[in-house]
Amino acid sequence: MNRPDETDPTGHDPQSDPARAGSDVVVRGATVDDQTRCAHYASPLDVVAIRFRCCGEYYPCHLCHEEAAGHPAERWPASEFDARAVLCGVCRHELTIAEYQAATACPHCGARFNPRCASHSHLYFDIPALFRAK
Protein backbone atom coordinates (compact mmCIF):
# COMPACT_ATOMS: atom_id res chain seq x y z
CA MET A 1 0.00 0.00 0.00
CA ASN A 2 2.62 2.50 1.10
CA ARG A 3 4.92 2.51 -1.93
CA PRO A 4 5.49 6.17 -2.86
CA ASP A 5 8.01 5.46 -5.66
CA GLU A 6 5.38 3.53 -7.62
CA THR A 7 3.00 6.46 -7.81
CA ASP A 8 1.58 6.70 -11.29
CA PRO A 9 1.09 10.36 -12.36
CA THR A 10 -1.85 9.41 -14.59
CA GLY A 11 -3.76 8.17 -11.57
CA HIS A 12 -3.97 4.75 -13.21
CA ASP A 13 -3.98 1.99 -10.61
CA PRO A 14 -1.18 -0.43 -11.56
CA GLN A 15 -2.76 -3.20 -9.46
CA SER A 16 -5.78 -3.29 -11.79
CA ASP A 17 -3.76 -3.47 -15.01
CA PRO A 18 -3.80 -7.08 -16.25
CA ALA A 19 -0.64 -6.47 -18.29
CA ARG A 20 1.26 -6.17 -15.02
CA ALA A 21 -0.18 -9.33 -13.52
CA GLY A 22 3.10 -11.27 -13.82
CA SER A 23 5.46 -8.39 -13.13
CA ASP A 24 6.81 -9.97 -9.96
CA VAL A 25 8.57 -12.68 -11.96
CA VAL A 26 12.31 -12.50 -11.30
CA VAL A 27 14.69 -12.97 -14.21
CA ARG A 28 18.22 -13.88 -13.14
CA GLY A 29 21.50 -13.75 -15.02
CA ALA A 30 23.30 -11.00 -16.92
CA THR A 31 20.30 -8.93 -17.92
CA VAL A 32 21.14 -5.57 -19.44
CA ASP A 33 17.67 -3.99 -19.45
CA ASP A 34 14.18 -4.55 -18.10
CA GLN A 35 12.97 -6.48 -21.16
CA THR A 36 15.21 -9.49 -20.36
CA ARG A 37 17.88 -8.75 -22.93
CA CYS A 38 21.25 -10.02 -21.69
CA ALA A 39 24.95 -9.68 -22.27
CA HIS A 40 24.81 -12.49 -24.87
CA TYR A 41 21.64 -11.74 -26.84
CA ALA A 42 20.66 -8.07 -26.97
CA SER A 43 19.01 -7.41 -30.32
CA PRO A 44 15.68 -5.56 -30.41
CA LEU A 45 13.93 -8.94 -30.79
CA ASP A 46 15.58 -10.69 -27.85
CA VAL A 47 12.84 -10.10 -25.32
CA VAL A 48 12.04 -13.56 -23.97
CA ALA A 49 13.37 -15.32 -20.89
CA ILE A 50 13.22 -19.07 -20.34
CA ARG A 51 12.43 -20.86 -17.10
CA PHE A 52 14.87 -23.73 -16.66
CA ARG A 53 13.45 -27.04 -15.58
CA CYS A 54 16.42 -27.82 -13.30
CA CYS A 55 15.93 -24.88 -10.92
CA GLY A 56 12.61 -23.31 -11.91
CA GLU A 57 14.32 -19.92 -12.37
CA TYR A 58 14.00 -17.61 -15.38
CA TYR A 59 17.17 -16.72 -17.28
CA PRO A 60 17.46 -14.66 -20.48
CA CYS A 61 19.48 -17.40 -22.22
CA HIS A 62 21.34 -20.67 -21.77
CA LEU A 63 24.69 -18.84 -21.39
CA CYS A 64 23.31 -16.76 -18.52
CA HIS A 65 22.17 -19.96 -16.83
CA GLU A 66 25.53 -21.63 -17.41
CA GLU A 67 27.43 -18.69 -15.89
CA ALA A 68 25.15 -17.97 -12.95
CA ALA A 69 23.36 -21.17 -11.93
CA GLY A 70 26.34 -23.37 -11.07
CA HIS A 71 24.70 -26.55 -12.33
CA PRO A 72 24.01 -28.10 -15.73
CA ALA A 73 20.82 -27.03 -17.49
CA GLU A 74 18.00 -29.51 -17.77
CA ARG A 75 15.76 -29.44 -20.83
CA TRP A 76 11.99 -29.65 -20.80
CA PRO A 77 10.72 -32.99 -22.14
CA ALA A 78 8.04 -32.84 -24.83
CA SER A 79 5.54 -34.31 -22.35
CA GLU A 80 5.77 -31.08 -20.32
CA PHE A 81 5.41 -28.54 -23.13
CA ASP A 82 2.19 -27.30 -21.51
CA ALA A 83 4.27 -25.77 -18.69
CA ARG A 84 4.48 -21.98 -18.54
CA ALA A 85 8.22 -21.56 -19.07
CA VAL A 86 8.64 -18.65 -21.49
CA LEU A 87 8.38 -15.03 -20.35
CA CYS A 88 7.71 -12.07 -22.67
CA GLY A 89 10.12 -9.43 -21.38
CA VAL A 90 7.97 -6.61 -22.75
CA CYS A 91 4.67 -7.34 -20.97
CA ARG A 92 5.75 -10.14 -18.56
CA HIS A 93 3.16 -12.52 -20.01
CA GLU A 94 4.07 -16.18 -19.47
CA LEU A 95 3.60 -18.54 -22.40
CA THR A 96 3.59 -22.30 -22.35
CA ILE A 97 6.41 -23.93 -24.28
CA ALA A 98 3.91 -25.19 -26.87
CA GLU A 99 2.51 -21.67 -27.32
CA TYR A 100 6.01 -20.27 -27.74
CA GLN A 101 6.91 -22.91 -30.33
CA ALA A 102 3.93 -21.85 -32.42
CA ALA A 103 4.28 -18.08 -31.96
CA THR A 104 6.26 -15.49 -33.88
CA ALA A 105 5.12 -12.72 -31.56
CA CYS A 106 3.76 -12.36 -28.04
CA PRO A 107 0.05 -13.30 -28.06
CA HIS A 108 -0.55 -10.77 -25.28
CA CYS A 109 1.28 -7.59 -26.36
CA GLY A 110 2.33 -8.38 -29.93
CA ALA A 111 6.08 -7.95 -29.35
CA ARG A 112 7.99 -9.77 -32.08
CA PHE A 113 10.14 -12.70 -31.01
CA ASN A 114 13.53 -13.41 -32.52
CA PRO A 115 13.00 -16.07 -35.23
CA ARG A 116 16.64 -17.11 -34.86
CA CYS A 117 15.87 -18.39 -31.36
CA ALA A 118 14.18 -21.36 -33.00
CA SER A 119 17.57 -22.58 -34.16
CA HIS A 120 18.77 -23.07 -30.59
CA SER A 121 15.52 -23.82 -28.79
CA HIS A 122 16.67 -27.44 -28.50
CA LEU A 123 19.03 -26.13 -25.79
CA TYR A 124 15.96 -25.47 -23.63
CA PHE A 125 13.35 -27.89 -24.91
CA ASP A 126 13.67 -31.53 -25.90
CA ILE A 127 11.99 -30.97 -29.25
CA PRO A 128 11.33 -34.03 -31.38
CA ALA A 129 13.83 -33.99 -34.27
CA LEU A 130 10.96 -33.79 -36.72
CA PHE A 131 10.11 -30.26 -35.56
CA ARG A 132 13.62 -28.88 -35.15
CA ALA A 133 14.73 -25.97 -37.27
CA LYS A 134 17.26 -27.09 -39.85
Question: Is 61 among the residues that bind Zn ion (CB under 5 A)?
Answer: yes
Choose between 107 and 131: whose C-beta lies nearer to Zn ion. Answer: 107
Which of these ranges, 11-19, 84-92, 96-104, 120-128, lies near Zn ion under the rule CB under 5 A? 84-92
Choose between 54 and 102: whose C-beta lies nearer to Zn ion. Answer: 54
Question: Is 38 among the residues that bind Zn ion (CB under 5 A)?
Answer: yes
Question: Is 109 among the residues that bind Zn ion (CB under 5 A)?
Answer: yes
**Per residue, what are the HEC states of 43-78?**
CCCCCEEEECCCCCCEECCHHHHHHHHCCCCCCECH
Amino acid found at 110: G
Amino acid found at 87: L
Name which position in 50, 106, 117, 127 contacts Zn ion (CB under 5 A).
106
Taking the complex as a whole, the smallest distance from the CB of residue 130 to Zn ion amounts, in Å, to 27
Contacting residues toward Zn ion, per CB under 5 A: 38, 40, 52, 54-55, 60-61, 63-64, 69, 88, 90-91, 93, 106, 108-109, 111
